């Protein structure tokens, strides 16, 4: 047990972060809105809240996935200012909220028609590779409607798609990577509050994981990553937000180099963070 | 669910309106009406000053339907 953890448990003194990246994220959260980023918002103490964030980053360092993430929105806090923060590198790729989503301690609620978040990054250029990338998220309260719903992504042409996560009217999760004619990879019923991660490894097929378990894979057609920024809560179709999802978005990330082992670790870390946040 | 029905001219003129990290957003119904969320009235009250709008209860059938591919 580290010194910081001991202090966190006693609650007598302020928790001391072990992971520097976690501390940077915490400082960004408190700078954005200190009054909401406290343990009482989540039914815990602020020291334990800090420890939960620290543990998340420590696990990511230990298991090798943290360095693979280019952007991550843990949606901690209860306002747009805190939910916009990219925890990997606060200030870079911070989000912009469109259409006035509702923010609370669970995440941000989008209405399925007008609301989403611009991630302010460009898949084709911002650190992504056509041959190795990954993305994933956690959403709850989704009502499958008469249209397809996009958790996140963008599309520039028939062979330039990056709609990583998607729910069909039938309730299937799917990914659209480059060319969506081969992209439906699971018939598993979409269940809310499950960690969904899609990977396109450097070699081999794309894989979709639900709560850490592979639920399908498909071969990748040739193509490019879109030159349209990623939207979260909708897909960016040549500059227009379409197929808005409804529900509360709790977590989203993009990165690369996620092996099955790393996916399992990241999934568990995301779930443990939600438990610590009481949501 | 209640939404704010706005004119096409107003919607398009405010397409890039932004305060800090919040941006005005709107969508179009299947029959061509422009609308935004009621939260926008609270978040961007300044742009609605002197503007005619109405509150309407829009249903699932009012929204544009997409097939399972995005048309790009």
Q: What is the distance between the alpha carbons of residues B13 and B17, in angstroms, rounded to a whole number?
A: 8
Q: In terms of DSSP bridges, do strands A96-98 and A231-232 run parallel, antiparallel, or are they unpaired?
A: unpaired
Report the pLDDT value the prediction gives residue B37, as an integer from 0 to 100.
Answer: 96
Q: How confident is the model at residue A183 (pLDDT cuts 50, 70, 90)?
A: very low
**Which residues of B fall below an 8 Å CB-CB distance to A?**
1, 3, 18, 20-27, 35-37, 39-40, 42-44, 58, 60-61, 63-72
What pLDDT sits at residue A163?
78
Q: How far is CA B50 from CA A99, B10, B43, B46, in A?
A: 20, 11, 16, 9
Rounded mean pLDDT, A234-238 = 92
| Tens-place pLDDT, residues B32-70 | 999 999 999 999 999 999 999 999 999 988 988 766 556
Mean pLDDT of A180-205: 70
Residue that wins the pLDDT comparison between A33 and A172? A33
Alpha-carbon gap: A35 to the closest alpha carbon of chain B (Å): 19
Instruction: Give A102's contacts in chain B (Cβ within 8 Å).
Output: 39
How many angstroms separate the CA atoms of B63 and A272, rounded?
37
State whether A113 and B68 contact (CB < 8 Å).
no
Q: State both tokens at A14.
A: 């302020």
Mean pLDDT computed over A75-95: 97
Mean pLDDT of A22-32: 97
Higher pLDDT among residues A67 and B65, named by residue: A67
> A177 at the B interface (CB within 8 A)?
no
Q: Do A148 and B37 touch (CB under 8 A)?
A: no
CA angle centred on A61, ends A212 and A37, rounded to 5° = 85
CB contacts of A116 in chain B (<8 Å) are 25
Count other Cβ atoms within 10 Å, centred on residue A207: 21
Put simply, whether A33 touches B (Cβ < 8 Å) is no
Among left, alpha and beta (phi > 0; psi -120 to 50; other), residue A268 is alpha
Look at A98 and B23 and tell me if their CB atoms are within 8 Å. Answer: yes
Residue A45: which pLDDT band, with cuts at 50, 70 and 90?
very high
- Would you state the pLDDT for residue A182? 46
Tell me which residue in B37, B44, B60 faces A111 most closely, judged by beta carbons: B37
Q: B39 vs A101: CB contact, 8 Å cut-off?
A: yes
What ipTM was estimated for this complex? 0.91
| Percent of chain A's residues with pLDDT above 90 | 56
Report pLDDT for A143.
79
pLDDT of residue A179: 61
């Amino acid at each position: 047990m580290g010194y910081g953890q001991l202090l966190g448990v006693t609650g007598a003194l302020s928790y001391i972060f072990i992971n520097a990246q976690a501390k940077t994220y915490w400082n960004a959260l408190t700078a954005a809105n200190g009054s909401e980023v406290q343990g009482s918002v989540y039914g815990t103490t602020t020291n334990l809240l800090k420890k939960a964030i620290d543990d998340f980053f420590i696990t990511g360092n230990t298991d090798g996935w943290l360095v693979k993430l280019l952007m991550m929105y843990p949606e901690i806090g209860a306002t747009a200012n805190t939910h916009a923060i990219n925890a990997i590198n606060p200030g870079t790729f911070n989000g912009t909220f469109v259409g006035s989503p509702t923010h609370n301690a669970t995440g941000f609620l989008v209405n399925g028609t007008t609301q989403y978040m611009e991630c302010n990054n460009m898949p084709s250029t911002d650190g992504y590779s056509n041959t190795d990338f990954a993305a994933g998220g956690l959403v709850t309260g989704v009502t499958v409607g008469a249209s397809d719903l996009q958790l996140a992504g963008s599309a520039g042409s028939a062979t330039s798609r990056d709609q990583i996560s998607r729910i069909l009217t039938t309730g299937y999760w799917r990914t659209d990577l480059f060319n969506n004619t081969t992209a439906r990879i699971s018939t598993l019923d979409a269940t809310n509050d499950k960690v969904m991660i899609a990977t396109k490894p450097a070699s081999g097929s794309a894989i979709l994981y639900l709560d850490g378990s592979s639920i399908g894979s498909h071969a990748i057609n040739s193509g490019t990553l879109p030159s349209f920024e990623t939207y979260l809560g909708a897909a960016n179709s040549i500059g227009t937000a379409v197929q808005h999802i409804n529900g509360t978005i709790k977590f989203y990330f993009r990165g690369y180099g996620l092996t099955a082992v790393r996916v399992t670790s990241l999934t568990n870390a995301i779930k443990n963070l939600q438990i610590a946040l009481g949501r | 669910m209640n939404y704010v029905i706005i004119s096409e001219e107003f919607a398009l003129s405010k397409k890039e309106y932004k305060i800090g990290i919040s941006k005005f957003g709107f969508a179009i119904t299947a029959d061509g009406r422009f609308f935004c969320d009621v939260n926008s009235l609270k978040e961007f009250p300044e742009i609605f000053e002197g503007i005619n709008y109405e509150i309407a209860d829009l249903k699932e059938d009012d929204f544009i339907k997409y097939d399972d591919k995005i048309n790009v």
